[in-house]
Amino acid sequence: MSDDKLKEYRRKRRPARSGEPAGERAESGSNGRLFVIQKHDASNLHYDLRLEVDGVLKSWAVPKGPSTDPRDKRLAIATDDHPLDYADFEGTIPDAEYGGGTVLIWDRGGYRNRKADTAGMQACYENGLIEFDLDGHKLAGGYALTRFRREQGQWLLIKMDDDAADARRNPVNTQRRSVDSGRTLHQINREAGGEH
């Protein structure tokens, strides 16, 4: 079903060596859809926003991470679809492998398509405008992803102006630990035998 969509993901990886998931997890089902934001300390530190859509995780790399201030527009670059079980991945990927570096589960939870009555997520993705509500540990309420340069896969991630909006919060800087393990990036790296 989702095998074709994950072709690029698999082509670039040898999971047995990198320790990353091969893509076996089943769809999360009727309890709502899954989202995860993974802080990824690669050659350029970024945050990978992933939304479950039709059995895969649609993915964007957000260099500055998400904001809770509706005035901020955060660049989000579309990346390869990832398998659902990647939402549980935290650890260090050997540098030589594609996407190497340390991964921390920065936030995770459910999300809801705000336009579900009129358009499915796949259609919203293709149309370049996704509006969704997050129910995470750090992030909540409405967010919009708007594509502005199709060829380069460039989107903007913007907080909607709702009850969860807060210009004074800066969770990327003040809430750095993993919501899965409570660990910092440094601890994950160290426990994986990293040098830093």
Which residues of this protein are in contact with Mn ion, per CB under 5 A? Answer: 40, 48
DSSP-derived 3-state class of residue 191: helix
Residue number, 76 or 179, with CB nearest to Mn ion: 76
Q: Indicate the residue whose CB is closest to Mn ion.
A: 40
Judged by DSSP in three states, 45 sits in strand
Number of DSSP helices (H) and strands (E) in the chain, helices first = 5, 9
Smallest gap from Cβ 164 to Mn ion, in A, equals 25
Please state the closest distance from residue 166 (CB atom) to Mn ion, in A: 26
CA R_g for the chain: 16
What distance in Å separates the CA atoms of residue 99 and residue 93, rounded to the nearest whole number? Answer: 8
Q: In the complex with Mn ion, which residue's Cβ is closer, 40 or 159?
A: 40
Of residues 40 and 74, the one with the C-beta less far from Mn ion = 40
Alpha carbon distance 2, 120 (integer Å): 17
Instruction: Specify the residue, 45 or 165, whose C-beta has the smaller distance to Mn ion.
Output: 45
Question: Considering the complex, what minimum distance in angstroms separates the CB of residue 113 from Mn ion?
Answer: 24
CB of 119 to Mn ion, least distance (A): 28
Beta-bridge partners for 38: 48, 105
